[in-house]
Structure 1
Amino acid sequence: MTSFFNPKFSKDFPLILNNDDNYDTIIQVGENEDIKEFRAHSVILRARSPYFEGALSSSWAKKKNDMIIFNKPNIAPNIFDIILRYIYTGKMNRIEKLSDILKLLIASDELLLEELCDYLREYLTKERYNWIHKDLVLVFYTVRKLANCEFLQNYCFETIYFDPELIITSFSFPSLDKDMYYDLLEREDLLIKEIVAWDYLIIWGIEQTSGLRSLNCDRNKWNNEDYEALKETLNEFIPLIRFTNITFDDFNDKVRPYKNIIPNQIYKEIEEFYDKGIIPKIILPPRKIEKFDSKIIKSRLIRRIIEWINIEDFWISNYNLNLIYRGSIDGISNKSFINKCKGQVKILVLIKVNYSNKIFGGYSSIGFNSIEDSLLRIYEDNHRFYHSSNNFIFSLENDEDTQNMKISRVINYDKAIYDQPHNGFNFGYNAFFMTENHCIINNYSCNYENNIRTDTIYSIEEIETFIIAE
């Protein structure tokens, strides 16, 4: 049988949408002053959208004079117009504004328009790093309105995470509303120099304070009333600054001049920290550590690992993780690992295994190979071990979930690292070890806690090691 396609067929559907005859559905969208009615055909809506299949049923939608009346106040008229035309034509008009694209994805996700969602996700992922500064601000603002749109939550997080300083220092920054700016400054994952956060907090506060705006931003001309006005504006925001991440010189140059706007107890803790090294009780701890170059785990997980390294170390953000070995670049083998990772250093190893979401890792406070003899312990049959009380191994179920992270600390300190020339590394006599392009965690020797033992031999998909420097 020969198939015949009528090229005019797809062009006829817009005519149906624009024709007021024979419609049986009125959809009211928007709220307040921005409300609009759309006329549509229930049979087309139901066929194209699983959402409307249920929403236009007799148990949900209202009927008046044989006309289906449906309200959708949470979608703006301009966004619904795009969606309705897509439903009828399968095409989407070009959209320039990022804020409209984000709103369209949220609405499409809610209306279960899977193909449109896929297209928008692909487009946003491709264009993530090309938005201008003001659009990055809009991305952050939208994240507060996302409901259950998981893709957008991740998208906004990663966009902000990509370069949050673009948001803080963007030209539209001083006009951010109070709630939006509070949410931004509160974030633990806002990777930005704290003195930059402080500088722009002052700029924002001046812009928000009547009498201190651009016409009177010269602090040398301020009186006590001006300082009190700024203090009142920033009262909720000052406690969000991580003052302990500001250097003493920056504190003297940029923070101390504003002493009068800082709550007394916070300022007292700042001075005690600089003068006596006393760990603050009120001031928030540092934000997450600097971004690190990993293809295996998201940066949000590294703080937990650093906390495991030294749970009493308040200055977590002072750690730097420097990549020294990546299997996909340097080769996955014992020889490659040893060549890149030998030496007595604090070192973190991460392994992503094939055909699984599992990730394994280990931390050695003494490194691997070429470790000084004072830490060497030789046992029967000339087995060589190295002493460490801080080592641990761990597992994750995926690259960003902290809920299923498991840790096994070394319990036999004298057998923390096994010196085995046929392994890239070996924690505790096979507690966790690498042999060529495989890794094994069995802990039969019980030199580590027995929290993550497995009899499976895993093929290594990717392996990375980082030197940890303070």
Structure 2
Amino acid sequence: MTTKFYDRLSNDLTQLLENPTDYNITIKVGEASVSQIFKVHSYILQSRSPYLKKKFNESPFNENHVKELKMPNISTKVFNVILNYIYGGTISLEKLENSIIFDLLIASHELDLDELVEYLQTHLSTNSGSWLRLNFAHVYQTSFQKNFKIIQKFCNNIIAKYPDTIFESENFNSLPEDVLISIIRLDDLQLEEDKIWDYVIQWGKDKNSDLPANLNEWTSNHFLTLKTTLKNCFPHIRYFNISSEQVFNKLYPYQQLFEPKLWLDINAKFLAPNNPISSTILPPRNTFDVTLPTRTTTPISSNIITDEHALEISSWIDRKETPYTENNPYELELLVRGSKDGFDVKTFYEICDNVSNTVVVVKVEDTGEIIGGYNPLEILNNGSGWCYSQDSFAFSLKTENLKNSFVSRVKSFNHAIYYNPGSQKLQFGDVLNLRGNLMTTKNSYCGTYYYENQIRSYKEKFSVEEFEVFKVSPKK
């Protein structure tokens, strides 16, 4: 019987890292302004990382018999975690933000630390689903670039059930071809086949910006250009599951994209359904009988908040101790979006006049913070002053850099909401003060009075990337 003393071994090797006696490698990590030099031992790192072994063998010794390496693309925080794993076989993620853990995953892949790559993927998929969904486009594309199979599976499950997550995202047209193909190959993609065709055509057109907007102006060369772009996507569309009406409406205008035999078979399916077809017939997708909810709880997507955020806000409205995790009892109808309607506070008053039960959310410029407030009162575009409410609250929502969302409820009911359209001011007590043009001027700030807690740095003025207002209504 063999007895293994791994704990003592781990501790002793970690001590060697902290007091690097007889080191023979220095690794400069991070960019110049935030770099750090680590003194390490080649035999330990070579035995754990194939990538580092190769790098060490390629690097010469200096006059002090020490090899010098540089890794500017890895942060010092991430490399510290990696070294503790390499030397001691231990890793602690409790105090790390999800963005750092994801960077750690990328760095571990670069260093060929297969065991750690698998562990971190499992950790993120199991414990950080909300963060992965919040950063979905970046996560999904990275998972293909780095071949993160576990993360890919997590993302594909989301896309299959909630295809709007990717097809209606602003990043859809920038998807690499292999990523798009992996999506349209999904057997359980909950999307009608003719809509999949629409998205594929949209993606292909975006790759060829010189194609005329009017299809009637297209020449044979234009169709050939699009056909060449989409040649690897077309085999994964299930043409024989598209209705005759949609074949006529959507496929017929693009018939020059099809090989003659396939186009003949698509039409033969409707004209002579009993005749044999030589083209490959893919099986229908495994769509559910019930209508799935969309990934967002609002009728249209938000540029700022996710469905998890909307569930949290709804929980605060209902004063739930345990947040809703599904089946949001409220609908959030978009009334104002800064990038569409303008960022002036006066725009808020003009569009939302006499509307009650609203949620205001802003994404802070530079920091990416998402803050806002719920106002149960009717918005007044005439007059100004303080308004009474027992149910208003302000909040800061979970983001890449903030581990948890939190709420701040009104405690001075007479100073719940302050309206002043003439001066372009809107206030939730003093805890959230919105001023003037929210994008071009840096006059908005968060104070401490009249609500339970401050929601961001006291009196630090900010401008915003985006601004949205939603009407909250019970779901029918």
Greater Rg, structure 1 or structure 2?
Answer: 1
TM-score by length of 1: 0.44
TM-score by length of 2: 0.44
